Chains A and B, each alone.
Chain A
Amino acid sequence: MRKIACLVTVTFVLAMMFSTSAFSARKTIIKIGINAPMTGDIPKVGEGSKYAAMLWLDDIEKAGGLDVGGKKYEVELVIEDNESKAESAVKANTKMITQDDVLAIIGPQSSKQAVPAGEVANKYKTVMISPWSTNPNTTLDRPYVFRGCFLDPFQGPVVSNFISEEFGFTKAAVLYDVASDYPKGLAEVFKQAWEKKHGPGSVTAYESFTTKDTDFSSQLTKIVKSGAQVLFTPQYYNEVPLIVRQAKDLGWKGPIVGSDSWGSAETIELCGEACFGQFFSSHYAAAGAKGATKAFIDRYTKTYGYVPDDVAALTWDALRLAQQAIQDYGNITGKIEKDREGVRNALAKIKNFAGITGNMTFTEEGDPIKCAVIVKINNNGEYEFYKSSCP
């Protein structure tokens, strides 16, 4: 009896294996890998990536498959959890490339995982697009690795352009933390961009402090006296409220502008009304979005019950970029190495891609040239899309 049961099972399994392989021989499935932190420190990031990917897949399925060169292909998502760890992200990439035969990989999101995982993708010559990683090393000297967001220093010139155009100011002051990489780098780039535009000496005060300082009164007194019209301070949510309040107490009247490090919800919680009306640059803003961005936000909110964050929006764009590249390549041969190379070349050639986080064109390094979003903190304390600012 047992023997018969065994035999039946084996036959079934064999039959199934045979049938699937026969099926796939007739029809090539396009597989897209998602390498995301579904568990670990930042599961919310993983969730946003997954949800955005599922919306995208939904679109493809509704259209009856992905149209490449006049032929419809079935698309399958391979979602791998990287547990927000570098080793797991490397493992996930290796598995998806060598076992699942994915055509392209979206993710990992954080630089901590994207930098080592990019090494693997590049070694196996498979396109990888990290939607969210801002570390230059992710794409550096890796022709197969791309990203969907701009690099940190890029915000310097963008903000400098925005201030010049919006207010017509010619004199700016900078206050930054000299002991922290991100603000320091951004302050330097902003100063360069501003002085290039308005001539030497147009940054009237270039003041610094060190991490954990809470008193900025001497720096701000200098800044107020220097005759600057605008203050640029690329600081984090724990310093911004102190800087903004102290500046106002010392008689500062002009606008205070920041970078995407302001974008945490805690900035408003800690700063309150003092920060209303200020601006900062960011990847994306949910409130006040228009067009395709708004359509995405509404759809996501309706499906999952909350407003998507920047990770979801950037993941959506990364998937659409991959889709565009596959369609531009136009001829799926079924030979995975050849197809991967073709997709990579098509992706590198994409010009003026209309993403929901801005228009993108890739540089040689695989970093996009795209417009940043200028966010205004409105009078309800929300981060509102103000305008798009390009380099």
Chain B
Amino acid sequence: MEALTDFVQFIIQNLINALQRGSFYAVISIGYSMVYGVLMLFNFAHGDIFMVGTYIGFGIATLFLALFSGFLPGPLIFVATVVVTMFLASWIGVFVEVAGYRPLRSAPRASAAITGLMIGIIFETGILILLGAKRLSFPPLMESIAYNIGGVYFTNVKVMIIILSLLLMLALHAFIQKTKWGMAMRAMSYDFLAVPLMGVSINTIAPLTFAVGAGLAAVAGILYGQAYPILDPYMGVIIGWKAFVAAILGGRGSIKGAALAGYLLGFIEIFVATIFPSTLRDLIAYSIILLILTYRPRGFFGMEHSTKLRL
């Protein structure tokens, strides 16, 4: 009996770990999917937009904590940080679209894809030159309290990350389904040639899409800073790759798919490391994903029209 409770504890503990990890992959991979839906290309700078968003969040959080920590309640500072960071970071998204992608819109697809990589490198080195190679520590926006319920350990920060990520995705869903802008984005992903003829300019929708993706990534960055409070200019590279994998696995252009695949990726990574020696984690985890893609090349929710154009 005790062995069983032990086992259940172990499973629940790992589920919580996986939910936290998966939340980051999910929120970031949505950014890839949204842009793909509209422009039919992957924004490879997205991982670095996430990084820049985290640095902006760091700056805003440090500033607000210094200004208001005496007389404003903690949760309010947190919300203010999220809102201001989201606003500022969305301009980074707009900048990437206008400066990087717009001039190359009619260029060969490969050139446009490379643009993202280059912008990413510019961001990395830019931050490196601006702030130096020194690692920064993200200030805690809420006091971390550890709970132990029946042998399962979690903190309020973990719970907050999981819930806030879910809320964020629900809000995005509502935005896309219920608003005029959302409808325009959906229409664009259905047929990006016909929609401009209906009076919806791609020069409005594309920056909007980038802005929303960057805003989401920046919130993910603040949450990331709460869970893993060490910032470095290359922090977005690996997580960006993995979120990109999730976006493909979920089905190109499918936001629901990207979110689900993000969680799945978190689960696979955590449970593979739990069952097998941790040295083999990425080897086994990504072999599993390769296998899934072999049998479902369009990912979970990929539609036929979204794979017509290669890359």
Contacts and interface: CB of A to CB of B under 8 A. Distances in A.
Interface string B272-284: 0110011101100
B137 A218 contact: no
B174 to A, nearest CB: 30
Interface string B137-155: 1000000101010000111
A208 B281 CA distance: 9
Interface stretch (A129-137, A219-227, A297-305): A219-227
A120 B237 CA distance: 43
A217 B18 CA distance: 9
Given A225-B10, A250-B13, A251-B146, A218 B278 contact: yes
DSSP class of A's interface residues: helix, strand, loop or mixed? helix
B132 to A, nearest CB: 12
Interface residues of B, number: 36
Given A249-B158, A266-B135, A270-B135, A218 B229 contact: no
B135 A217 contact: no
A207 B148 contact: no
Contact of B229 (A213, A224, A241): A241
Interface in B255-280: 269-271, 273-274, 277-279
Nearest to A218: B273
Interface in B146-180: 146, 148, 153-155, 158
Interface residues on A, range: 20 to 34
A215 interface: yes
A272 to B, nearest CB: 8
B200 to A, nearest CB: 40
A238 B148 contact: no
A337 interface: no
B109 to A, nearest CB: 29
Contacts of B137: 241, 269-270, 272
Given A251-B153, A266-B134, A221 B10 contact: yes
A19 interface: no
A3 interface: no
A242 interface: yes
A217 B20 contact: yes
A178 interface: yes
A218 B153 contact: no
A219 B272 CA distance: 10
A390 B269 CA distance: 40
B232 A238 contact: yes
B234 A212 contact: yes
A99 interface: no
Contacts of B235: 212, 214
Contacts of B154: 249
A218 B270 CA distance: 6
B122 to A, nearest CB: 20
Contacts of B238: 212-213
B278 A207 contact: yes
A209 interface: yes
Interface in B1-51: 6, 10, 13-14, 17, 20-21
B279 A208 contact: yes
Nearest to A239: B230
Interface of A: 178, 207-210, 212-215, 217-219, 221-222, 224-225, 237-238, 241-242, 245, 248-251, 266, 269-270, 272
For the complex of A and B, 10 pairs with smallest distance between CB atoms: A217-B17, A251-B153, A218-B273, A214-B228, A218-B270, A270-B137, A207-B278, A208-B279, A218-B274, A250-B153
